[in-house]
């Protein structure tokens, strides 16, 4: 497996396929994509996982993290998040957070992230704000 930086345009089709297939492709574009850092997880040169990180000062936010269904449960997403956290630590970013689907909270807890506050709704999906500091 290989993890490397990609463009937001490369991330968009996987975001769409995994997160919001019922919405138009452009729904998956995020304000700030042009200046964010995007990571891709590749298996046999195929992009199968994407993660986008939006940083400001010493704070970074994960958005639109997605792994193709056929590759979920194989450690690809975990490897990408581990890579992202190591990258952020090198940049002296000390607070990392995301809006995690409630169904994925146990995944993020593996990386030391804790739930902050009650669940909330975005576009008909329940989320928690989750974060970690180091």
pLDDT digits (tens, 9 = 90+) for 31-52: 999 999 999 999 999 999 999 9
Per DSSP (E only), the strands in 8-113 are 37-43, 46-56, 59-67, 95-101
Burial class (CB in 10 A: 0-12, 13-18, 19+), 83: middle
pTM, to two decimals: 0.93
Low-confidence residues in the chain, pLDDT < 50: none
How high is the pLDDT of residue 123? Answer: 81
How much is the pLDDT for 50?
98
Q: Nearest 10 degrees: CA dihedral of 85, 114, 14, 38? A: -30
Q: Which fold has domain 2-133?
A: Aminopeptidase (3.40.630)
Q: State whether residue 123 is helix, strand or coil.
A: coil
């Amino acid at each position: 497996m290989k993890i490397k930086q990609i463009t937001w345009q490369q991330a968009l089709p996987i975001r769409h396929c995994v997160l919001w297939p019922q919405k138009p492709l452009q729904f998956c574009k995020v304000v700030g994509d042009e200046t964010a850092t995007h990571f891709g997880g590749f298996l046999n040169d195929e992009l199968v996982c994407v993660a986008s990180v939006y940083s400001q000062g010493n704070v970074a936010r994960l958005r639109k993290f997605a792994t193709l269904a056929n590759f979920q449960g194989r450690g690809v997403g975990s490897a990408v998040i581990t890579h992202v956290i190591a990258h952020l630590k090198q940049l002296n970013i000390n607070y990392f957070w995301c809006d995690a689907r409630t169904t994925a909270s146990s995944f993020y807890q593996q990386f030391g992230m804790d739930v902050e506050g009650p669940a909330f709704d975005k576009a008909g999906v329940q989320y928690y704000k989750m974060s970690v500091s180091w």
